[in-house]
Structure 1
Amino acid sequence: MIIHKSNNVTVFQSAVFQLNTTVVATEDLILVVDPGYLPYEIEQIRIYVDKIKDDRPIYLFFTHSDFDHIVGYGAFPDAKTIASEQFVTNNLKGSQLQAAINYDDEFYIVRPYQLEYPRIDFMIKEDGEQFQVGKTLFNFHYAFGHNHDGLIVTVESENLAIVGDYLSDIEFPFVYFSFEQYGRTLKTLKSIFEKNSERTLITSHGTVTSDQSQITKRISDSYEYLEFVKIQGSGEQFEQFMEEKKYIFSTIFRKRHQDNIMVYERECEHS
Structure 2
Amino acid sequence: MNSIVIYRGNAGYLIDPGVFPSEIERIDRFLQRQKIDNITLLLTHTHGDHISGWYFFRHFPAFGHESIAQKSKTVRENDVKYLQSMWRKRGIENTDYLIFPDNLQFVADGEVLAIPPFSFVIYQVPGHSIDMSVIIIPEQHLMFSGDMLIDVPAPFVLHSVKKYRESLKRIAALVKQYDVRYLVPGHREPAHSRQEIVKRIEKEQSYLQELVGKGIRLAEKGLDRDGLKHALYETFPQYARLHSHQVNVQTLLRELNE
Of 245, 252, 256, the residue aligned with 1:264 is 252
Where does residue 90 of structure 2 map in the other structure? Answer: 107
C-alpha change, 1:187 and 1:171, in structure 2 (3 Å) is: same
Of 146, 160, 177, the residue aligned with 1:164 is 146
5 Å-filtered alignment, 1:70-85, equals 70-85=51-66
Of 108, 113, 118, the residue aligned with 2:101 is 118
> Deviation of residue 112 (structure 1)?
8.7
- CA–CA distance in structure 1, aligned partners of residues 247 and 235 of structure 2: 16
Percent identity of equivalent pairs: 25
Where does residue 175 of structure 1 map in the other structure? Answer: 157
C-alpha contact (below 8 Å) 2:11/2:117 kept by paired residues: no
> Deviation of residue 146 (structure 1)?
0.6
Q: Secondary structure at the match of 1:117?
A: coil
5 Å-filtered alignment, 1:206-225, equals 206-225=188-207
Alignment deviations for residues 94-113 of structure 1 (CA, whole Å, 9 cap, x no partner): 11111111222233125697
C-alpha change, 1:21 and 1:111, in structure 2 (3 Å) is: farther
- CA–CA distance in structure 2, aligned partners of residues 65 and 178 of structure 1: 16
> Deviation of residue 90 (structure 1)?
1.5
- CA–CA distance in structure 2, aligned partners of residues 117 and 141 of structure 1: 21
Where does residue 93 of structure 1 map in the other structure? Answer: 76
Quick check: 172-181 or 229-238, which moved more? 229-238
- CA–CA distance in structure 1, aligned partners of residues 39 and 117 of structure 2: 15
1:69 is matched by which residue type in structure 2?
Answer: H
Q: Secondary structure at the match of 1:20?
A: coil
1:63 correspondence with 2:44: yes
1:150 is matched by which residue type in structure 2?
Answer: M
Q: Secondary structure at the match of 2:236?
A: helix
- CA–CA distance in structure 2, aligned partners of residues 66 and 121 of structure 1: 14
C-alpha change, 1:41 and 1:229, in structure 2 (3 Å) is: same
> Deviation of residue 197 (structure 1)?
4.1
- CA–CA distance in structure 2, aligned partners of residues 202 and 260 of structure 1: 23
Where does residue 236 of structure 2 map in the other structure? Answer: 238
- CA–CA distance in structure 2, aligned partners of residues 25 and 135 of structure 1: 6
Where does residue 222 of structure 2 map in the other structure? Answer: none
Count, aligned residues: 240
C-alpha contact (below 8 Å) 1:58/1:78 kept by paired residues: no
TM-score (norm 2): 0.84
Q: Secondary structure at the match of 2:122?
A: strand
1:267 is matched by which residue type in structure 2?
Answer: E
Q: Secondary structure at the match of 1:267?
A: helix
Q: Secondary structure at the match of 2:232?
A: coil
TM-score (norm 1): 0.81
For structure 1, which runs of at least 5 residues remain unmatched after alignment? 1-18, 243-249
- CA–CA distance in structure 2, aligned partners of residues 81 and 171 of structure 1: 32
C-alpha change, 1:134 and 1:73, in structure 2 (3 Å) is: closer
C-alpha contact (below 8 Å) 1:172/1:222 kept by paired residues: yes
1:204 is matched by which residue type in structure 2?
Answer: G
C-alpha change, 1:138 and 1:105, in structure 2 (3 Å) is: same
Q: Alpha carbon RMSD of aligned pairs, Å?
A: 2.2
